[in-house]
Structure 1
Amino acid sequence: MARTAYHHGDLYQQAHEQALAIVREQGDSAISLRALARQIGVSTPALYRHYADRESLLAELAISGFQTLRQHLLAVDQQDSRSALIGIGLAYVAFAREEPNLYRLMFGGRVLPRGAHPRLDQAGLAAFQVLEDTVANGQQRGYLKAAPLALLTAAAWSLVHGLSQLTIDGHLPGHDNEPQLAAGITALLLDGSIERSNKEPTP
């Protein structure tokens, strides 16, 4: 295979981009530092200077995934708390649908155990913080019940993560139905009743 021209300082980013393309097409199991070095056209030791091992490379991919997810969540308009909760859910599911293999890597504790990569844990928490802030805002404005913030946030995350996983695994209808699903799930979280999903909360 012909070697790809590169500048040494760009090797980290080039390897990252190439590995991300592989994960998107084939999943994280297809990642090999030796094969990746060969594709880029560098020696394996040169790549090891940037990534200690295969797992550290996968961790960097997952970190960038959480950073992108966080940006998508931050882009949701927070002016209306009810709409914001639905918007957060839709943004979350949309990311999972657009990046199914990366999403599986990000939340695949078997591949990247929690605690093994502190920067990855921090990136995940930063994305989670957006959801927690949205739930807290909903409580402050009276859209959510007076319950422990950690409990409500965990419930919201469980619902949206489950919806995302079922969607990318093909167990739910196409994305055209996601707004209705997200609205129904949010209604259950807001007031426990799908029938009341279009009503304003009682002051």
Structure 2
Amino acid sequence: MGRPRLHDDALRSRLLEAASAALADEGVGGLTVRDVAARAGTSTSAVYSLFGGRPELVRAVGDEAFARFADRLAAVPRTADPEADLMALGLAYRRYARDEPHFYRAMFGTPGAGAQDGSRGPMTQAPTFVVLRDAVATVLVARGAPVDGAERAALGLWALVHGLVELELDGLVPGDETVAGERYASTLRAAGPGLLAPT
């Protein structure tokens, strides 16, 4: 008979939530195992048992952030209308950032957790970017356009949605969430076609 598990998946999830919030509040330099444990209502030994230490905890927050983001993108239905599908991916990007702001910020702004961690490789090879690039390629094929510009166009679209989302999360977009969402969607509809056009 195997040894009983001291800590379960629910505690692991709670610690990741607490760590993502602590990273948002304190930054990676201010993150402590003691604070994360206190936020999660557990002991520091639980953190060490589940993650090994502070650097591994930070990395695990990034892993969780990318996994949740990938799940959100994978949940977007694929239809017979590739342009609508691409728009739906853009809306899912914003929804993830709004629903999970601590994890979203960890992906792009936390050394050791997200995109700034060179061990993850180029972001243009990340599975979440590949989803976008493939959706762009599908649009280009439907238009009868060459697909060799799919990565360039996808990078431009990523820059557009990322910039808009960052402005909104920083409170720099006027209006409430509904107004900001309408502005976001209208900007994608206005600017997106230009980014997909061949250069």
TM class by shorter chain equals 0.7 to 0.9
Distance 1:69 1:129 in 2: 13
Q: Deviations over 1:25-54 (max 9, x none)?
A: 77262642234446654453x532432322
SS in 2 for 1:57: helix
Asked if residue 189 in structure 1 is aligned to residue 187 in structure 2, the reply is: no
Residue 73 (structure 2) aligns with = 73
SS in 1 for 2:109: coil
Native 8 Å contact 2:97 2:104 kept in 1: yes
Distance 2:147 2:122 in 1: 29
Residue 167 (structure 1) aligns with = 168
Residue 67 of structure 1: CA displacement?
A: 1.3
Match of 1:114 among 98, 103, 117: 117
The alignment's TM-score, normalised by the length of structure 2, stands at 0.75
Q: Deviations over 1:85-112 (max 9, x none)?
A: 2111111011101111221111115353
Asked if residue 20 in structure 1 is aligned to residue 17 in structure 2, the reply is: yes
Residue 139 of structure 1: CA displacement?
A: 0.9
Q: Deviations over 1:144-199 (max 9, x none)?
A: 7765221011001111111111111111133323244224324322146xxxxxxx
Distance 1:168 1:85 in 2: 22
Cα-Cα RMSD: 3.3
**Structure of greater relative contact order (alpha carbons < 8 Å, 6+ residues apart):** 1
Residue 198 (structure 1) aligns with = none
Show structure 2 runs of 5+ residues with no match: none
Q: Identity of paired residues, percent?
A: 25
Q: Which moved more, 1:20-29 or 1:99-108?
A: 20-29
Distance 1:47 1:83 in 2: 43
Distance 2:144 2:153 in 1: 12
Show structure 1 runs of 5+ residues with no match: 1-5, 193-200
SS in 1 for 2:98: helix
Which structure shows the higher helix fraction? Answer: 2
Distance 2:74 2:194 in 1: 24
Native 8 Å contact 1:145 1:191 kept in 2: no
* CA spacing shift, 1:179–1:133, aligned 2, 3 Å: farther
Residue 141 (structure 1) aligns with = 142
The alignment's TM-score, normalised by the length of structure 1, stands at 0.73
Distance 1:52 1:137 in 2: 43
Native 8 Å contact 2:33 2:44 kept in 1: no
Native 8 Å contact 1:139 1:145 kept in 2: yes
* Number of matched pairs: 184
